[in-house]
Amino acid sequence: MKKVFNWLKKDDNFWLMLVILGILAIIIGVVFFWDWMWKHIFVFILLWIILSGWGTIPTRYDIRNKK
C-alpha cells in the first residue's frame, strides 16, 4: 500500500490528467445529454411535488394559527 501512495505522490501528471479528464467528462456529458438530463430532472421534481403532497405543506397562516 505504501508503494501505491508513493507512486501517486511522485506522479503529478496523473492528478493533472485525472482533473482534465474529469472536466472533459462533465463537458461532454452536459453537451450530449442536456435534453435527456433536464427532462428527467423535471419529471423527478414534478413527481416529488405530487408525491410529497402539495396540500400538506404548511402555510404561514397554518403556522401562526396553530392550535
pLDDT of residue 7: 63
The C-alpha cell at 65 is: 394559527
* pTM, rounded to two decimals: 0.40
pLDDT of residue 41: 84
Crossing angle of helices 2-10 and 12-52, in 10° steps, is: 100
Phi-psi region of 39 (alpha: psi -120 to 50; beta: other; left: phi over 0): alpha
pLDDT of residue 61: 64
pLDDT of residue 58: 61
Phi-psi region of 11 (alpha: psi -120 to 50; beta: other; left: phi over 0): beta
pLDDT of residue 11: 66
Q: What is the mean pLDDT, run by run of 10 residues, along the chain of 67 residues? A: 63 80 89 79 84 65 65
